């Protein structure tokens, strides 16, 4: 998921092994990436088994306190390539 990959890019290098394990479980066990997004944005309550320090960090990240521009248009060069 785009959202959790941005979080990972900013945070994985500073995580402990335990936190990395919690993150790995968080992104691999829920059957739907949207669930993670809803929990992170607090649109839905986080289930107890995933409500840990990593989820708290993800919720904090979702609030985007730095107001970073996180949306990026896809590269469109392929549209302009001449057919081979």
Instruction: Give dist(CA 13, CA 23) in Å, integer.
Output: 12
Handedness of CA 35, 21, 52, 71 (dihedral sign): negative
**With bands split at pLDDT 50, 70 and 90, how would you rate the model's confidence at 64?**
confident
For residue 44, the model assigns a pLDDT of 95
Burial class (CB in 10 A: 0-12, 13-18, 19+), 8: middle
- For residue range 34-61, list pLDDT tens digits in order: 899 899 999 999 999 999 999 999 999 9
**With bands split at pLDDT 50, 70 and 90, how would you rate the model's confidence at 14?**
very high
Superfamily of domain 1-79: Flavinator of succinate dehydrogenase (1.10.150.250)
Q: Among residues of the chain, what percentage have pLDDT more than 70?
A: 74
72, 21 contact by CB (below 8 A): no
**With bands split at pLDDT 50, 70 and 90, how would you rate the model's confidence at 30?**
confident
């Amino acid at each position: 998921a785009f959202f959790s990959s941005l979080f990972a890019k900013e945070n994985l290098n500073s995580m402990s092994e335990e936190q990395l394990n919690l993150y790995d479980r968080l992104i691999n066990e829920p059957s739907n990436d949207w669930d993670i997004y809803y929990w992170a944005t607090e649109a839905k309550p986080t289930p107890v088994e995933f409500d840990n320090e990593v989820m708290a960090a993800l919720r904090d990240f979702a609030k985007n306190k730095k107001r970073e521009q996180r949306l990026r248009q896809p590269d469109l060069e392929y549209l302009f390539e001449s057919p081979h």
